[in-house]
Amino acid sequence: MSSHHEWAIEIINEHNQKKPFAPENGKELAFKIGDEVIYHIDGSGEAPPNGQKSFIVTGLYQPNPMSSMYACGYRYMLNWTAHWMPVKESSLRLKKKAD
């Protein structure tokens, strides 16, 4: 692949072949609007920005037309400083009462 544009077309084509595209774990969405979640960076421990312990899922990212971010698993909108940036399911876990 020689460009980001070609990569995006490839990811969107992959999405279109697998409709509905599963999140990166191959299952239905794990979280719904209103769920309290802990954010962590893939492959590392929990790393909430600004020291905030948890976030609320405020929406689902559903672009039209389809975007390469969505096709790569970015699905959830959170109530954090980058509220416009979708987050992957693999970067979230449901907050338990004891957290």
Q: What local confidence, expressed as pLDDT, does residue 37 receive?
A: 92
Domain annotation covers residue 99: no
Give the domain extent around 28: 4-94
Q: What local confidence, expressed as pLDDT, does residue 29 receive?
A: 83
Domain annotation covers residue 86: yes
Report the number of distinct structural domains present in the chain.
1
What is the DSSP code (8-state) at residue 37? E
Q: What local confidence, expressed as pLDDT, does residue 90 receive?
A: 82
Run means of pLDDT, 10 residues per run, the chain, 99 residues: 77 70 66 91 57 83 80 86 86 79
- Which residues 6+ apart lie within 8 Å of 30 measured at CB? 23, 89, 92, 94
Domain annotation covers residue 69: yes
Report how far residue 67's alpha carbon sits from residue 54's, in angstroms, rounded to the nearest whole number. 27
pTM above 0.75, yes or no: no
